[in-house]
Amino acid sequence: MRAACLLPLLAVGRALSQSVADDEQAISESLAHLAESVSTTIDGATVPTGEYITYTTTSYLTDQGSVVGSTAIEVTGTPGSNMIAANATTTTTSDTITVLMGGQTTITGNATNNATQTSAPTPSSTPVVNTQPCNGYTEFCNRKYSNITMVAAHNSPFVMKGNVAANQALDVLYQLDDGVRMLQFQTHLVDGTVYLCHTSCDLLNAGTLEDYLTTVTNWMRDHPYDVVTLLIGNYDYAAPGNFTGPIERSGLVDFVFTPPMVPMGLEDWPTLGSIILSGKRALVFMDYQANQTAYPWLMDEFSQIWETPFSPTNRDFPCNVQRPPGLADIDARERLYIANHNLNVEFNIANINLLIPNTALLNETNSDVGRGSLGWMADNCTTRWDRPPNFLLVDYYNVGNFNGSVFEVAAKMNNVTYDRNSCCGSLSAAPTLVFGTTMVAALLLLVGVQILASTF
């Protein structure tokens, strides 16, 4: 009787086990075929080893970079001071943005010019409410750029259903609409054109950098109160001049921010409001080979930002500095930092050695609570460094223990309230790779069957 009851469970277990085996074989055969067509070894499971820039003194920049129209925000005294109040009222007419600071200071700017300030004759005794939030929150308008936690899309362009190298389920327009404010991606230079490829363009090619930036630029034109950060992964260590063309032709040049100095310390960054009013709302960083003497607007990442361990496979998500290596604690505390929270598993076949997203654990990894969750990691980092991460780098941002859980974590770090009804792409847009969830389900069922069988 008991044996008869076990037969259906065992049959299901065998069927799932066979399905998993078939799925793994299909993926392996696909990657093996790919490996035959790739002339060089694909190794995405190692930490990049590019050169790191060290500045011994602070240099003050001008607007003489090669990208025409990129103008530095002028900073005098304490950067960001007296620029915009948290309770400011903001109105727009045509291309002009005007902010009224409770009757005390008026700041006007547009898409191409710096902000100017004039004093109002009579201060207002009644505070007013800002009707135009900065990056979604009125509270951010008077905060320094360095005092805000943002959700960052790891490998933002890599949206390709069924591809093991994909990192997102929803494209960049969904990402921006939902609240992602850092877009990170990997580039490859092929015959003079910059492409967006994951490890190899034979593995996943998301098109040209120019096309991607054109989409981002069009979104920014329609959203004048948003600051977007772009982090370029220069996989081939290409010369920085290769990136000027895509930025100019895409139109992003109209929005490129030039810092007033290099490197920018934690307290040197302007407020989000002043960046918005300047019209220069696209902050562009590059991990390797940046040259801010030649291109002041193309900011060197690691002289101004540090990162926790790259492509983590450890669910403990340690919050130590990995890049740049050897950075002293005292120096780390003067820079922005990225918390890498995109959990990976290593996949090896033929001459392919890849780290791919651990899709089986996404609900836990992107959760706001629990061991190994984004919320748990962010709390640990905040305790370790006495301030929250500036950027939370995640895969499949729309997946979590509830819709928008990654934004809930960022809101908690920012001490603001997140509207859970504002997000996201449907949970059904989670990755559908059977390599992960099906395998785990089958293993759990088989283990359950074995435990059940052992009790009889």
Residue 72 lies in a domain: no
In this predicted model, which residue has the larger pLDDT, 193 or 45?
193
Residue 378 lies in a domain: yes
In this predicted model, which residue has the larger pLDDT, 96 or 85?
96
Residue 185 lies in a domain: yes
Model pTM score: 0.79
Specify the number of domains making up the chain: 1
The residues annotated with a catalytic role in the active site are 154, 198
Q: Kindly tell me if the per-residue pLDDT of 71 is higher than 90.
A: no
Residue 450 lies in a domain: no
Q: Which residue has the tokens 């669910």?
A: 315
CATH number, residue 238 = 3.20.20.190
With a CB cutoff of 8 Å and minimum separation 6, the contacts of 322 are 47, 307, 308, 309, 310
pLDDT category of residue 148 using cuts at 50, 70 and 90: very high
Residue 440 lies in a domain: no
pLDDT category of residue 41 using cuts at 50, 70 and 90: confident
- What pLDDT is stored for residue 22 in this prediction? 59
Question: What phi and psi, each to the nearest 5 degrees, are found at residue 312?
Answer: -65, 145
d(CA 341, CA 380): 12
pLDDT digits (tens, 9 = 90+) for 95-112: 455 443 333 333 445 544
Range with the poorest average pLDDT among 33-47, 52-66, 153-167, 441-455: 441-455
Residue 193 lies in a domain: yes
Coil, strand, or helix at residue 340?
A: strand
Looking at residue 448, what DSSP letter applies? H
pLDDT category of residue 356 using cuts at 50, 70 and 90: confident
- What pLDDT is stored for residue 114 in this prediction? 40
pLDDT category of residue 429 using cuts at 50, 70 and 90: low
In this predicted model, which residue has the larger pLDDT, 411 or 41?
411
Cβ density class 377-396: b for 16+ within 10 Å, e for less: bbbebbeebeebbbbbbbbb
Question: What phi and psi, each to the nearest 5 degrees, are found at residue 414?
Answer: -90, -5
Residue 24 lies in a domain: no
- What pLDDT is stored for residue 6 in this prediction? 38
Backbone CA torsion sign across 21, 25, 27, 31: positive
- Mean pLDDT score of the chain: 79
pLDDT digits (tens, 9 = 90+) for 326-342: 999 999 999 999 999 99
d(CA 149, CA 416): 11
Residue 153 lies in a domain: yes
Q: Kindly tell me if the per-residue pLDDT of 456 is higher than 70.
A: no
With a CB cutoff of 8 Å and minimum separation 6, the contacts of 68 are 248, 253
Domain that holds residue 392: 43-57+137-425
Q: Is the peptide bond before 324 cis (omega within 30 degrees of 0)?
A: yes
In this predicted model, which residue has the larger pLDDT, 80 or 17?
17
DSSP track, 198-228? SS-TTT-EEEEHHHHHHHHHHHHHH-TT--E
With a CB cutoff of 8 Å and minimum separation 6, the contacts of 13 are 442, 445, 446, 449
- What pLDDT is stored for residue 97 in this prediction? 53
Q: Kindly tell me if the per-residue pLDDT of 256 is higher than 70.
A: yes
In this predicted model, which residue has the larger pLDDT, 452 or 236?
236
- In 41-120 the beta strands, taken as DSSP E runs, fall at 42-43, 59-60, 89-93, 96-101, 105-109, 116-119
